[in-house]
Structure formats: C-alpha cells, structure tokens
Amino acid sequence: MYSTLRNVTPKAMTVASRSMTFKAPVRDVKFIFDEVLNVYKFFPESAPQDVVEMVIKEMAKFSENTLHPIYQVGDDGCKWSAERIDTPKGWKDAYKAYVDGGWPSLPADPNFGGQGFPLTVDAVKTEFCAAANWTWYMYPMLSHGAMECLTEHAVPDLKKTFLPKLVSGEWTGTMCLTEPQAGSDLGIVKSTAKPNPDGKSYKISGTKIFISCGDHDWATNIVHLVLAKLPNAPGGTKGISLFVVPKYKIKADGSLETKANCACVGIEHKMGIKGSATCVMSFEDSEGYLVGKPHNGMKEMFAFMNAARLTVGTQGLGHAELSYQNALPYARERLSGRAPTGAVCKDKVADPIIVHPDIRRLLLKLKSFTEAGRCLVYHTALVEDRVRWAKDEKEKHKLEGELGLLTPIIKAFLSETSFEVCNDGIQVYGGHGYIKEWGMEQIVRDCRISMLYEGTTGIQSMDLIGRKILMNKGKDLVTFAGSIVAFCLQNMTQVQILPHILQIQKLATEWIELAGGVMMTAQKDPSVLQSASVDFLHYSGYLVLGYMWLRMEVAALKALAAKPSDPEFYQAKLQTADFYFARMLPKTKFYAATVRAPTKVLTQMKEDHFNLRS
C-alpha cells in the first residue's frame, strides 16, 4: 500500500493522493470483553453475547466503510453563510446512513424508542467512530449527551416532546454553556431567561460561543440545551438554570414552525476538527423551556458533561488508534538505514525503519497506550452500567465512587497522552508526517481540542483532587486503590509478571500517600490543591493504565496456559506490557516528586514580575 511512497510526478505533487487506512480493533475488544472484564457476566439478558458481537461487527463495518473514507475531507471544514452552513462532502449522507442503521438509539431508553443496550456496548460504537472519524462523530455524540441529560432530568412533557426525535436521530442536540466572558467559570454567565405569561415557557437571551454542531442541515430540528439565569437568581453557579431551546418551535400538532427560534451568527476558524462547525449562537427572546428545576442547571448539565467527558477520553483513544494504524504500515515499508545488529533486508538499499529501536519505541508508545486506554474505557463504561444496574446500595455507592475518580482521569489523561503519542505518530513519518496528504498531522490538530473542551485538563485535575478525593476525605480513593492492591495480592503467584505486580502494588500505596499529603497540606495552604492537581492526575493516569496492563497480563497468561490457537496474540500483549512497565510507568517517579514540591515555587512570584525581560 505504501510501497511506492511518493513517486514524484510533479503535477500530482500537491494533491492529497494518499489515503489513510482504518480497521476496527475487533479482536482487541473481544479480548477485553471476554477475557479481561468478563462483561457478559454483568450484562442483562437483553444483551446476550451473540447479539452484542453482531452489533460490534456491524459497527466495525460502518466505521471502516462509511466513516473513515470521509475523514480527511473533513479538514476542508464547514462553510458559513447567513443562510446556511455547509458541512464537508459526504458527511450528511453518512449521518443518514447512521440514522437508517438505527445507531442513535443503541443505548437509549426503550420507553422513548431506544434499544437499551449497555453503555459498554455503546462505548465500542464511540471508540470505532472516534478512530474512524472523530469530528464527524461529534454530531451524534452531542445528541447522545442531550438524550442522557433529558432522560435523567427533564419533566415528563419535555421528555415526551424531545426524546423520541433525538433517539431516532431525526433531530440532533447541542450543549450551550460557554459565553465570551465565561468558560471554565460558568458562574458568570450572562444569558437570561424571562418567564412568559403562559406560565410554561421562557424568553432566552444571550450569546453562546464554541457551540459544536450548533447548526447544520442534517436534521429537521436542533435541540439546544442552554444555561441561563432566571430573574433574581442567586450569584455564581447556584443561580444557573438549564433550558431546552429548539431551533424551530414545535406547534401543537407536532409540526415545526418555519421561522428559526435562534441563530448561528458565525463559526470559528480552528486548529482542527474543522468538519464540526463551532458556532456562535445568538438567542434573542428565543422561546425555551425549563428542563428540570430552577437554579438546578449545573447539576442537570453534568449529566451531559459526564457523558461527554468519558466520550472525549475515548476521542483521545480513537485518535491514537488511527495514528498507530497509519504509523505501523509506514514503518514497515519505508526504507532507511540498517538495523543496529546488521542488515535485515540485504536485497534492498536499506531496511524498513521498523528495525530501528527508536522507531519501535514510538510505535510501542502508541500501542501500549491505545491497548491499555481501550481497556480503561470499557472498564469504566462497565462501571457506569453497573451503577445503573446495582441493586445493592453499598455496591452502588462503591461503583459511583470509582466512576467519579475515573471520569476526570479518562477525560484528561487519555486526551493529554493521546496528544503526545499522536505526535509520535508524526515522528515515525519523519518530515512526511508534517505534510497534509498523509493525514498524520490532521490527527494531531484534531486531537489537540480534547485537552480543552468539556473542561480543560486543569479543571479535570481539580475535579479529581478536590471534588472526588478531598470532599469525601479520600474514602473513594482508598477504596479504589485498595481494590488494585487486592488484585495484586490475588495474583502474586504469577511469577512471570511478579515484578510488574510489585510495582503496581507499590504505586497504588504511594497514590494514597500522595493524596494524603496534599489533603494534610491543604488544611493550612489551600494553594496546594491546584499546585499538585495536574501532576497528581498524571500520576493517577499512569498508575491506572498500569493496572489495566496488569489485568490484561493476567488474562493473557491464563489464555496461554490453555494453549490457544493464536498464542502470538497473547505473547504480543505480554511484550507490550513489558514495554509499558519499563518505559512509560517510570513517569510516576517524576510526578511523585512534583506533587510533593512546595507550593511557593508557583505562588511566590509577584504578578508584575513575570514580565521583566524586555
């Protein structure tokens, strides 16, 4: 496929002539589902293994054949005019195919037309779509978040009006939070909601920015979830309410008005994800409806946000998977230099670059990150499912604690690490990686947003150390870290991986120690939370991925003991784990040191001394 590389024919030179490849990692998902997590043990009878595997197979086909071929064209972006937004060529058709295939309804509530599949199964859809064409998937992803939010919090009338149309995919959804002056700090939003005389609806006014998929012609209506303040609302986040504002109002007979209720007044020029229009939305006395309760908007919105945060972590995984899948064939075909142990392909002018240890280092970073990230994503989705299915309150509480910890880790750590390894994907290509036609740099640009939206890495890290650890005095952390230590103890007899087990056990204990240190210091020095937060999150991420590798190693050893037909699959898992433990996990040494660093190195400098240099 890459064998001719770039035979320069001058006139074709500047044309994107090289197509990328993508194959859904179905085998890997099966390993994680069957052998690592044993998901079917937890799934309800309505989701038996044979049906789930068929769904996964179909989703693989859709992502490979329909979504991936239109990934690169997405970089041409959207075109805005006062009348309409044009999305990239072929994207609207793909959405039609997605709807026709029944994909929007996969995890949705059967009461509103959904198929009620476990979120763990829906996470496979998300992963495959994210890897094949993340930016396209943002459209259905936002609808999914809107469904989650309305299902959980909306009053019955709103559910009845909006959910069936969202579930079928006929309408799509958005989340309208950010304003020009208010991003991470939503307490200072200025949008207002004034009650109408009808006692039911409100007039919503304000400008929202960074509204992904805020306008397009894929759906007959767009359902905006908008944060705004009621008259005389309390200050800060406690005074925010959540409203539904449809693009077109719904008449009593169910048909839509033709005049729009709000407008997209411009789109942003961005670094990447260009196929997703990032809209400036203008609401001017737009009719809207209170989703749940007054001043309860932050909480209600979080149903949307939590779903979105897990999805954004999966976005990172998807980008890294695509980068790996396109770095690997290049490394196997590009000829340059000779292996350090002597020529491997003596009949060729040079060896393929995969013989070079440093190229293998880059590939194994991608490989070890994606495989453990995948395991973490499905592990967490299963925890989320189990929270919903839990019948025992104590069990439910424990699972909720774990989910709470893992959500910011998935969002921030997978997005940060993904950006790093997708850059490694460029590096495998050398200078060619910088050239648009290969697609490797597009992945990096598309990936970069994941560390920013749905709460930056800084916000996630404060969520972890503050809300998820300090607020319950570390109880959830101790419970989860304890379950990791317990897993280590249970598997101590696996001598082949004993060094790895001991490493994880030690780090899980140090994790508690680090968190404890921060909590102790915080009593006197509140700056320590933020001073330590991002590096503590990275420490957590490396540890948790190491735990996932350990679980996969235990499963691989078990499989190998049973003499499987494909032992090399399991051997490759063990070898990839070797790499992770030797070359990635030691990052915890760095983060353990910086989490313990005194806060004054961040706080002591006077604000106007930052600038003394010119």
Contact 105, 116 (CB under 8 A): no
Please report, for residues 168, 574, 580, the alpha-carbon distance to residue 219 in angstroms, rounded to integers and kept in the order given: 11, 47, 44
In the bound state with its own copies, the residue whose beta carbon lies nearer, of 161 and 456, is 456
Binders in 122-181 for its own copies, by CB under 8 A: 178, 180-181
In the bound state with its own copies, the residue whose beta carbon lies nearer, of 162 and 579, is 579
B/e letters for 30-69, b = 16+ CB within 10 Å, e = fewer, are ebbbebbbebeeebeeebeeeebbebbeebbebbbebbbb
In the bound state with its own copies, the residue whose beta carbon lies nearer, of 322 and 399, is 322
In the bound state with its own copies, the residue whose beta carbon lies nearer, of 144 and 538, is 538
In the bound state with its own copies, the residue whose beta carbon lies nearer, of 66 and 115, is 66
Q: Which of 361, 388, 467, 473 binds its own copies (CB under 8 A)?
A: 361
Residue 157 carries which DSSP code? H
Q: Does residue 276 sit in helix, strand or coil?
A: coil
Binders in 379-418 for its own copies, by CB under 8 A: none
Report in angstroms how near the CB of residue 312 gets to its own copies at its nearest. 13
Interacting span for its own copies (CB under 8 A) from 221-229, 242-250, 554-562, 596-604: 596-604
Residue with tokens 């998929």: 213
Q: Which of 155, 471, 492, 593 binds its own copies (CB under 8 A)?
A: 593
In the bound state with its own copies, the residue whose beta carbon lies nearer, of 47 and 359, is 359
| Token couple for 512 | 């508690």
Classify residue 382 by burial, with Cβ atoms within 10 Å: 0-12, 13-18, 19+: buried
Our finding on whether 271 is near its own copies (CB under 8 A) is yes
Sequential DSSP letters for 494-519: -GGGHHHHHHHHHHHHHHHHHHHHHH
Report in angstroms how near the CB of residue 354 gets to its own copies at its nearest. 6
Q: Is 454 a catalytic residue?
A: yes
In the bound state with its own copies, the residue whose beta carbon lies nearer, of 219 and 552, is 552
Question: What gap in Å lies between CA 557 and CA 564, rounded to an integer?
Answer: 11
Q: Which of 1, 5, 486, 502 binds its own copies (CB under 8 A)?
A: 5
Binders in 10-49 for its own copies, by CB under 8 A: 10-11, 13-14, 16, 23-28
Q: Does residue 183 sit in helix, strand or coil?
A: coil
Count Cα atoms within 13 angstroms, Cβ side, for 169.
21
Interacting span for its own copies (CB under 8 A) from 37-45, 286-294, 429-437, 502-510: 429-437
Q: Which of 111, 184, 220, 490 binds its own copies (CB under 8 A)?
A: 184
Contact 602, 534 (CB under 8 A): no
Report in angstroms how near the CB of residue 31 gets to its own copies at its nearest. 9
Classify residue 171 by burial, with Cβ atoms within 10 Å: 0-12, 13-18, 19+: buried
Report in angstroms how near the CB of residue 468 gets to its own copies at its nearest. 16
Count of residues that interact with its own copies, criterion CB under 8 A:
124
| Token couple for 475 | 């109880």
Give the pairing of strands 171-176 and 221-228. parallel
Report in angstroms how near the CB of residue 263 gets to its own copies at its nearest. 9
Q: Between 310 and 349, how does the x/- string for binding to its own copies read (CB under 8 A)?
A: ------------------x---x--xxx--xx-------x
In the bound state with its own copies, the residue whose beta carbon lies nearer, of 45 and 607, is 607
Report in angstroms how near the CB of residue 157 gets to its own copies at its nearest. 33
Please report, for residues 145, 198, 235, 530, the alpha-carbon distance to residue 225 in angstroms, rounded to integers and kept in the order given: 10, 21, 21, 30
In the bound state with its own copies, the residue whose beta carbon lies nearer, of 51 and 605, is 605
Report in angstroms how near the CB of residue 328 gets to its own copies at its nearest. 6
Which residue of the set 127, 437, 441, 454 is catalytic?
Answer: 454
Question: What gap in Å lies between CA 182 and CA 161, rounded to an integer?
Answer: 30
Q: Does residue 252 sit in helix, strand or coil?
A: coil
Binders in 55-94 for its own copies, by CB under 8 A: 80
Interacting span for its own copies (CB under 8 A) from 168-176, 240-248, 506-514, 584-592: 584-592
Contact 313, 356 (CB under 8 A): no
Q: Between 523 and 562, how does the x/- string for binding to its own copies read (CB under 8 A)?
A: ---xx-xxx-xx----------------------------
Report in angstroms how near the CB of residue 156 gets to its own copies at its nearest. 35
Binders in 434-493 for its own copies, by CB under 8 A: 434-437, 441, 444-445, 448-449, 451-453, 456-458, 461-462
Please report, for residues 53, 174, 180, 527, 586, the alpha-carbon distance to residue 184 in angstroms, rounded to integers and kept in the order given: 40, 18, 11, 18, 32
Q: Between 204 and 233, how does the x/- string for binding to its own copies read (CB under 8 A)?
A: ---x-xx-----------------------
Binders in 362-381 for its own copies, by CB under 8 A: 363-364, 367, 371
In this structure, the number of other CB atoms found within 10 A of the CB of residue 305 comes to 21
In the bound state with its own copies, the residue whose beta carbon lies nearer, of 81 and 255, is 81
Q: Between 272 and 311, how does the x/- string for binding to its own copies read (CB under 8 A)?
A: x-------x-x-----------------------------
Contacts of 195-199 with CB under 8 Å at 24 or more apart are 195/230, 195/231, 196/287
Binders in 228-267 for its own copies, by CB under 8 A: 265-267
Classify residue 217 by burial, with Cβ atoms within 10 Å: 0-12, 13-18, 19+: exposed
Contact 358, 27 (CB under 8 A): no
Residue with tokens 């037309």: 113
Active site residues: 454
